[in-house]
């Protein structure tokens, strides 16, 4: 019996030693969390009801840009609301019939579609070999000439500041020329400072965008038709 026990003890001893040296398995902590809800509808976030339609509205900063542009037009850009450009029928046929609030919505829409061609809605964009800056690609000497609050290229890469400056510029050139994109001996209105409006197909695309907005369509087109 002693002959059997001795070898058995010798065989088990390494296994016991190995078990003593091996660290205990670590348990993974369990964190209780609320269930994750996924939006699989594919729909963009709803636009705030108090903001006009704008071509940048689904961009990350789009709602902010719309609010800034709207505020700028209603303050230092108020001259835009008092004039009816000679070529407004090409941009917003219903504009002459609207009050200041609805007219302001048109200028926000115009800036948003212009920014598409100026910067593809990139507030940090720099074009013209380092000459034009921001959402609406403003030339710093123009910002200085028009007495904008910000006048450097770096400052014009701030979206709200760029829009405020753009409104200040338009509030001078549009009432002066009574135009958005007319040309006689030179380009007038907004087109005096922004090149994309001088391009035929870009201008037509911008006009299509603004003209299809409810605030630019004649009342007869947007009023619900009487049921037969």
- Answer yes or no: is 162 within a domain: yes
What domain range includes position 177?
Answer: 62-217
Residue whose pair of structure tokens reads 């800036």 in the numeric block = 111
Ordered DSSP codes for 11-48:
HHHHHHHHHHHSPPPPPPP----PPP----S-PPPPPP
Mean pLDDT (the chain) is 84
> Please, is 50 exposed, middle or buried when counting C-beta atoms within 10 Å of its C-beta (0-12, 13-18, 19+)?
exposed
pLDDT at 20 over 80: no
Query: Considering the domain boundaries, does residue 173 fall inside one?
Result: yes
207, part of any domain: yes
Kindly report the number of other CB atoms within 10 A of residue 188's CB atom: 21
The verdict on residue 168 lying in a domain is yes
pLDDT in tens, 57-69: 999 999 999 999 9
Which tokens is 158 given?
């701030």
Whole-model pTM: value is: 0.76
pLDDT tens-digit readout, 176-226: 999 999 999 999 999 999 999 999 999 999 999 999 999 999 876 655 555
Contact predicate 174/85, CB 8 Å: yes
pLDDT of 37 higher than 70: no
Residue 46 lies in a domain: no
What average pLDDT does the segment 74-78 reach?
98
Number of domains comprising the chain: 1
- Within a domain: residue 55? no
Q: What mean pLDDT is predicted for residues 21-39?
A: 35
Higher pLDDT, residue 111 or 23:
111
132 in a structural domain? yes
Residue 23, in any domain of the structure: no
């Amino acid at each position: 019996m002693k002959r059997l026990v001795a070898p058995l003890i010798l065989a088990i001893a390494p296994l016991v030693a190995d078990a003593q040296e091996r660290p205990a398995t670590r348990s993974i902590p369990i964190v209780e969390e609320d269930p994750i809800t996924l939006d699989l509808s594919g729909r963009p976030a709803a636009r705030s009801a108090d903001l006009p339609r704008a071509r940048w509205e689904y961009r990350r900063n789009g709602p902010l840009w719309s609010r800034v542009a709207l505020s700028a037009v209603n303050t230092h850009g108020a001259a835009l609301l008092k004039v009816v450009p000679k070529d407004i029928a090409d941009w917003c046929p219903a504009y002459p019939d609207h009050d200041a609030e609805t007219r302001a919505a048109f200028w926000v829409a115009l800036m948003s579609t212009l920014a598409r061609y100026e910067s593809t809605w990139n507030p940090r964009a720099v074009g013209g070999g380092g000459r034009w800056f921001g959402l609406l690609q403003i030339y710093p000497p123009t910002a200085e000439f028009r007495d904008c609050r910000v006048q450097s290229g770096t400052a014009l890469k701030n979206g709200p500041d760029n829009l405020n400056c753009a409104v200040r510029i338009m509030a001078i050139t549009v009432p002066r020329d009574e135009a958005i994109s007319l040309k006689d001996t030179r380009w007038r209105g907004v087109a005096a400072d922004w090149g994309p409006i001088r391009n035929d197909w870009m201008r037509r695309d911008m006009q299509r965008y603004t003209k299809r907005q409810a605030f630019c369509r004649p009342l007869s087109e947007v009023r619900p038709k009487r049921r037969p």
